[in-house]
Chain A
Amino acid sequence: QVHLVESGGAVVQPGGSLRLSCVASGFTFSPYGMHWVRQAPGKGLEWVAFIRDDGSNEQYADSVKGRFAISRDNSKKTVYLEINSLRLEDTAMYYCAKSGGDSLTGYPDYWGQGTLVTVSS
């Protein structure tokens, strides 16, 4: 059974940084891409970032490009999201999701329960 557990969410000031983590279990981690998706309070889902199974390709939403960095450690079955220069509009629940389908263009199939990032002065 696929299990994803996010952590690292916190209350941070504008301009600050955070690193979110997502630990996977219940499946063989290394062959699958991974996504991060966020949801601002009371709003819809926004796809944020994707990393390929071997870490060779990273993709970002235009809204976060240059500030966010996705990475993974297959030996630890963990995917990370480094968030820099935090803005008020980055306040959201951040979900990690396993990728199904094609290794380069796959879709989120299994999701974690999320970790909350609040940007506030």
Chain B
Amino acid sequence: SYELTQPPSVSVSPGQTARITCSGDALPKKYVYWYRQRSGQAPVLVIFEDYKRPSGIPERLSGSASGTMATLTISGAQVEDEAVYYCYSTDTSDNHRRVFGGGTKLTVL
């Protein structure tokens, strides 16, 4: 089965840059999407199609992808950015198998 791999946790101080990675064999051919889930809340889409930001998502969140790895970058991290971040993509099979990464807990302190 297809898997996306994320680090379990990332910690930064307020104002620093946080980078969360997501790796998968199909990423050279498939888009990556990123979701933020704050404690007790439903997930929110923060990046789509590798690097595009939905309206209302601050510019300090950005996405990039190269080869088998995608990266979510949070520049000048703020306390409100503390959350679990998930990447999402599909494999290259005809079944369009969809998968989330295991999630990365971002701590800003």
In angstroms, Cα B1 to Cα A71, docked, is 25
Given contacts A44-B103, A45-B35, contact A114 B1 (CB under 8 A): no
| B33 in the interface (beta carbon within 8 A) | yes
B54 within 8 A of partner (CB): yes
The answer to whether B96 and A95 touch across the interface, beta carbons within 8 angstroms, is no
Please provide the chain B residues from 1 to 43 with a CB less than 8 Å away from any CB of chain A in the complex. 1, 31, 33, 35, 37, 42-43
| Residue pair A104, B96 in contact (C-beta under 8 Å) | yes
Task: Report the minimal beta-carbon distance from B103 to chain A, rounded to whole angstroms.
Answer: 4
Return chain A residues, CB-CB under 8 Å to B95. Answer: 59
The tally of residues in B whose CB lies under 8 Å from a CB in A reads 25
Q: Decide: A112 and B98 in contact? CB cutoff 8 A.
A: no
A47 interface hit (Cβ, 8 Å):
yes
Count of A-B residue pairs with CB < 8 Å: 58
Which chain B residue lies CB-closest to A62? B1
Contact status A107-B43, CB under 8 Å: no
Contacts of B103 in A (CB 8 A): 44-45
A73 at the interface (CB under 8 A from B): no
| A107 pairs with B48, CB closer than 8 A | yes
* Residue numbers in A under 8 Å from B100 (CB-CB): 37, 44-47
A112–B42 touching, CB < 8 Å: yes
Q: State how many angstroms separate the Cβ of A50 from the closest Cβ of chain B.
A: 7
Knowing A44-B86, A47-B98, A47-B100, the reply to whether A101 touches B43 (Cβ < 8 A) is: no
Structural contact, A109 and B96, CB atoms closer than 8 A: no
Inter-chain contact A45/B43, CB cutoff 8 Å? yes
Known contacts A61-B98, A62-B1, then 12 further A-B pairs from the complex at CB < 8 Å, ordered by chain A residue: A37-B100, A44-B100, A61-B97, A62-B97, A100-B45, A105-B90, A105-B96, A108-B35, A108-B45, A108-B88, A112-B42, A114-B42
